[in-house]
């Protein structure tokens, strides 16, 4: 059974999810619409968030496997 996300991981996830769109928007807001900036930020964030989630799931699985 999955446990709650640790505070450190929650902070890292929130930072990743907010920094990438902010950077993309500040770099290219004059050239592109916000919707065209949102799509690449989703494409960048999604694999990173999935990777963090998979690492957490694997650690929890290893903990239960040892006991």
Residues 59, 4: Cα–Cα separation, whole Å? 13
**Is there a domain that residue 50 lies in?**
yes
User: Mind listing the pLDDT tens digit for each residue in 36-48?
Assistant: 877 887 888 888 7
Q: Give residues with Cβ within 8 angstroms of 37, minimum separation 6.
A: 21, 24, 25, 28, 29
Phi, psi at 57, each rounded to 5°: -60, -45
Q: What is the pLDDT of residue 2?
A: 57
The pTM assigned to this predicted structure is 0.52
**Is there a domain that residue 41 lies in?**
yes
If one counts the domains in the chain, the total is: 1
Residues 27, 52: Cα–Cα separation, whole Å? 26
Full domain range(s) for residue 54: 34-58
Residues 17, 4: Cα–Cα separation, whole Å? 18
């Amino acid at each position: 059974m999955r446990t709650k996300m640790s505070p450190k991981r929650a902070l890292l996830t929130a930072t990743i999810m907010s920094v990438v769109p902010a950077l993309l928007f500040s770099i290219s807001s004059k050239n592109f619409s916000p919707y065209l900036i949102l799509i690449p930020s989703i494409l960048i964030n999604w694999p990173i968030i999935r990777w963090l989630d998979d690492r957490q799931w694997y650690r929890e699985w290893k903990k239960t496997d040892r006991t």
